[in-house]
């Protein structure tokens, strides 16, 4: 009996107590992560939205809705990496993981789920991964360019994926428009690919093109099944956690509304923004099912729920605005890949029972801050070589009028940087476009002609749409912000805890 009591005491002490105002039991965490979703796609954030989002609108009424929330980059892989490490991706790499690409995580890099596991969490990732695997470990062919079904031993485990970086469980297809086109559970394919991808075998696409890279596929693969299948897996996972004595972290990463635009038939015509709008509506519906699973399982009162997105909407948003009068990045300029706000200024909703109160906050926050936030909440001391750019948002979550972050650095492509400091943002390029410039859209929105200056400077307090370049008017501000960026890049960190 004494042994059991001692063991219980050791286990209790190993899970350090939260701050006095937090629950005695660590909270569950549900992170809902959309793909290529614009700030203005949620009707709660855009009075002119052509897309109803009833479930997320309802959730927003119970959460803190941050209207100055950002992803770390305006493209997929970098944002996910920064969010899961608390470290700016550009310190380590640029660009996305290509089809059948290797992992972006270096050995020894502490991740968000690894930190949570050390505090006793069950951890799972369901949906899009896009952070790489070691596909070379299952290659049978000596030719690294071979991508046929026979070039891989599909019976073997695939190393260096989600399970190698803190997740107990993974289910998904890694990336919806990249091979292999099959389900992967944990670190093995559920069924071995036996044919090459052929979009002609699939149901007709609803909008745009498939944008699918060639590669191995299982016979009968149906991309339309992605959201229904992963959502059901998410619901099942949440409900199963009720029986566990351990808290859980579920990172649910949607494939939508990223291309291919494939809303299921039941969602056709549910919006006034075409198939893309219907795809957003289906994403909202899936969020509703996952949130309902929390309620039905009695876990909602002890679960932190976060909804956000990896970056802004794809360039097809220009045509959507022209055809449906719906601007996905409203009220911002720029889209996915761009340095302008529309590329990385994303939906950002947080509900933390016992900590947050419903409302709207204008505090500057970033997804890169999740790691330091939960480290503080769980009394986890971050090592000096971890989460180097992460700032705890707990003070802001308790009091949305407060601010803990005044600066962040945005970069999606090598040597193309923007730095934000308080209300000012400096774009170290001739303009903030990377994706494409659309003169007709700029004319419709009353944007002036490009001034051809070497950099752009904006004051977002007065000019959220980034129309008036102030660089020539405030050269001293340009120099100040250049210097700040240089300092942050050179010192290798920006987290306040590392400046002491």
Each residue's pLDDT tens digit, 230-259: 999 999 999 999 999 999 999 999 999 999
Is 90 exceeded by the pLDDT of residue 46? yes
pLDDT tier at 143 (50, 70, 90 boundaries)?
confident
Q: 195 or 141: whose pLDDT is higher?
A: 195
Q: Is the pLDDT of residue 39 over 60?
A: yes
- Predicted pLDDT of residue 9: 33
What's the rounded mean pLDDT across residues 213-225? 98
What's the mean pLDDT when you consider all of the chain?
A: 94
Could you give the percent of the chain with pLDDT greater than 90? Answer: 91
81-114 core/surface letters (b: 16 or more CB in 10 A; e: else): bbbbbbbbbbbeebbbbebbbebbbeeebbbbbb
- Residue 496 — pLDDT band, cuts 50, 70, 90? very high
Spatial separation of the C-alpha atoms in residues 219 and 223, rounded to whole Å: 12
Compute the average pLDDT of residues 206-232. 97
Predicted pLDDT at 18: 42
The residues, ordered by sequence, that sit 6+ positions from 284 with a Cβ below 8 Å of its Cβ are 52, 53, 54, 55, 56
For strands 303-309 and 348-351, give the pairing: antiparallel
pLDDT at 17 over 50: no
DSSP for 380-403, please give it: ----TTS-TT----HHHHH-TT--
pLDDT digits (tens, 9 = 90+) for 387-441: 999 999 999 999 999 999 999 999 988 889 999 999 999 999 999 999 889 999 9
SS3 373: helix
What per-residue confidence (pLDDT) applies to 205? 97
pLDDT at 119 over 80: yes
Token duo for residue 235: 């619901």
pLDDT at position 150 over 50: yes
What pLDDT is recorded for position 5? 32
Q: Hey, is 11 helix, strand or coil?
A: helix
The structure tokens listed for 93 are 């790499």
**Reported pTM:** 0.94
The tokens for 85 are 């490490």
In this predicted structure, what is the pLDDT of residue 12? Answer: 39
Reported confidence tier of residue 131, pLDDT bands at 50, 70, 90: very high
Q: Per-residue pLDDT for 81 more than 80? A: yes
Report the pLDDT value the prediction gives residue 15, as an integer from 0 to 100.
42
pLDDT the model gives residue 282: 98
Which of the two residues, 436 and 290, has the higher pLDDT score? Answer: 290
Contact 187, 158 (CB under 8 A): yes
pLDDT tens-digit readout, 339-392: 999 999 999 999 999 999 999 999 999 999 999 999 999 999 999 999 999 999
How far apart CA 285 and CA 488 sit, in angstroms, is: 41
Q: What is the mean pLDDT of residues 314-337?
A: 97
pLDDT at 13: 40
Query: Could you check whether the bond before residue 257 is cis, i.e. omega within 30 degrees of 0?
Result: yes
* Secondary structure (3-state) at 359: strand
User: In this model, does residue 215 exceed pLDDT 90?
Assistant: yes
| Per-residue confidence band for 16, with pLDDT thresholds at 50, 70 and 90 | very low
Check residue 415 and give its pLDDT.
83
Helix (H, G, I), strand (E, B) or coil at 119: coil
* Beta carbons of 97 and 104 less than 8 angstroms apart: yes
Task: Classify burial at 220, counting beta carbons within 10 Å of its beta carbon; exposed 0-12, middle 13-18, buried 19 or more.
Answer: exposed
Q: Is 141 a residue whose pLDDT tops 60?
A: yes
| DSSP class per residue in 126-179 | EEE--S---GGGGB--S-TT--SGGGB-TTS---SSGGGGT-SEEEEEESTTSS
> What is the reported pLDDT for 396?
97
pLDDT of residue 14: 44
Domains of the chain: 22-401 (3.40.720.10)
Scan for tokens 């992560």, then name that residue: 33
User: By CB neighbour count within 10 A (0-12 exposed, 13-18 middle, 19+ buried), where does 238 fall?
Assistant: buried
The radius of gyration of the chain from alpha carbons, rounded to an integer in Å, stands at: 22
Res 4 pLDDT > 80: no
**Euclidean distance between the first and final Cα of the chain, in Å?**
47
Q: How far is Cα 113 from Cα 218, in angstroms, rounded to an integer?
A: 30
């Amino acid at each position: 009996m004494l042994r059991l009591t001692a063991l219980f005491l050791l286990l209790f002490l190993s899970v350090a107590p939260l701050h006095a105002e937090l629950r005695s039991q660590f909270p569950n965490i549900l992170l809902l992560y959309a793909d290529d979703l614009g700030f203005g796609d949620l009707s709660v954030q855009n009075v002119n939205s052509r897309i109803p989002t009833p479930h997320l609108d309802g959730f927003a009424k119970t959460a803190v809705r941050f209207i100055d929330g950002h992803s770390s980059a305006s493209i997929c892989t970098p944002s996910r990496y920064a969010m899961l490490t608390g470290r700016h991706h550009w310190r380590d790499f640029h660009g996305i993981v290509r089809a059948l690409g290797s992992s972006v995580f270096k050995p020894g890099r502490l991740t968000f789920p690894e930190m949570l596991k050390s505090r006793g969490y069950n951890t799972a990732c369901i949906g899009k991964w896009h952070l790489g695997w070691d596909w070379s470990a299952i290659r049978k062919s000596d030719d690294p360019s071979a991508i046929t079904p026979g070039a891989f031993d599909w019976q073997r485990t695939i190393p260096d994926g989600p399970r190698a970086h803190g997740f107990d469980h993974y289910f998904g297809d890694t990336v919806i428009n990249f091979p292999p086109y099959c389900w992967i559970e944990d670190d093995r394919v559920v069924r071995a690919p036996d044919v090459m991808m052929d979009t002609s075998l699939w149901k007709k696409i609803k909008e745009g093109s498939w944008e699918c890279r060639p590669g191995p596929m299982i016979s009968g693969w149906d991309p339309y099944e992605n959201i229904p299948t992963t959502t059901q897996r998410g619901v099942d996972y949440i409900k199963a956690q009720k029986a566990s004595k351990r808290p859980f972290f579920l990172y649910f990463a949607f494939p939508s509304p990223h291309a291919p635009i494939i809303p299921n038939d039941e969602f056709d015509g549910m919006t006034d923004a075409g198939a893309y709008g219907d795809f957003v509506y289906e994403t909202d519906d899936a969020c509703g099912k996952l949130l309902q699973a929390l309620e039905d399982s009695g876990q909602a009162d002890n679960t932190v729920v976060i909804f956000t997105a990896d970056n802004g909407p794809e360039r097809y948003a220009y045509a959507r605005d022209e055809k449906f009068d719906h601007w996905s990045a409203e009220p911002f300029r720029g889209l996915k890949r761009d340095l302008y706000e529309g590329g990385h200024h994303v939906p950002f909703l947080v509900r933390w029972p016992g900590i947050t109160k419903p409302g709207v906050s204008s505090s500057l926050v970033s997804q890169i801050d999740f790691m330091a936030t939960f480290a503080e909440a769980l009394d986890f001391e971050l090592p000096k070589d971890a989460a180097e750019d992460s700032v705890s948002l707990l003070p802001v979550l308790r009091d949305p009028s407060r601010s803990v972050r005044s600066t962040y650095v945005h970069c999606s492509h090598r040597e193309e940087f923007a730095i934000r400091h308080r209300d000012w943002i400096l774009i170290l390029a001739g303009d903030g476009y990377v994706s494409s410039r659309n003169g007709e859209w700029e004319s419709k929105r009353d944007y002036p002609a490009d001034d051809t200056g070497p950099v752009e400077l904006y004051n977002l307090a007065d000019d959220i749409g980034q129309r008036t370049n102030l660089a020539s008017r405030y050269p001293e501000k340009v120099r100040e912000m250049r210097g700040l960026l240089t300092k942050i890049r050179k010192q290798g960190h920006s987290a306040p805890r590392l400046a002491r």
